[in-house]
Structure 1
Amino acid sequence: MKTTHLTLLVGLFLGAAAAFGSIGQFLVVLLFGLIGLAVGLALDGRIEIRGLTDRWGR
C-alpha cells in the first residue's frame, strides 16, 4: 500500500472519529480525508509544500 493511500485512510478514520452523523459531519470527514491525502502526496514527493508556502508568502 502506498503512503498516499495509507494517509488517506488515516485521515478518513480520524474524520469519522471526529464527526459521526449528519451531512455537516460528513463534510468534516471529507475535509480530513483531503488533508490526509495531501499529507500522503507530500510524503510521496508528488507535491512540494515549500513551493506552495513560498507562493502564499508573497
Structure 2
Amino acid sequence: MSMAVVGLMAGMALGFAGYFGGFGAFLLVAALGAIGFVAGKFLDGDIEAGDFFRNRDSRDSDRRR
C-alpha cells in the first residue's frame, strides 16, 4: 500500500472523528495514530528503543571526533 493511500485513510479517519466526535475525538485519534505509527516503525526495525533514551550530548561528541 502506498504512503499516499495510508495518508488518505488517516486523513479520512481524523475527519470522521472530528465531525462525529468533536475536537476531543479528533485529538484522541491523532494521538493513537501517532503511537501506532511509532509502534509499527519499532516492530519493522526502523527504530530502536535506545533511540528514545540516548543522551544527545554524547552523540554530538561522537560526531566531532
TM (normalized to structure 1)?
0.54
Residue 21 of structure 2: SS of its match in structure 1?
A: coil
* Structure 1 residues not aligned, in runs of 5+: none
Q: The residue matched to 1:47 in structure 2 has which SS?
A: coil
Identity in percent: 40
Q: Which residue of 1 aligns with 2:62?
A: none
Please state if 1:35 is matched with 2:35.
yes
Give the C-alpha shift of residue 41 in structure 1. 0.1
Distance in 1 between residues matched to 2:39 and 2:55, nearest whole Å: 18
Cα distance in structure 1, aligned partners of 2:32 and 2:39? 11
* Matched residues, number: 42
- Alignment of 1:50 with 2:50, yes or no, is yes
**Aligned twin of 2:60:** none
Normalising by structure 2, what TM-score? 0.49
What residue ranges of structure 2 are gaps of 5+ in the alignment? Answer: 57-65
Structure-1 residue corresponding to 2:59: none
* Aligned-CA RMSD value: 2.9
Alpha-carbon distance, 1:51 to partner: 2.3
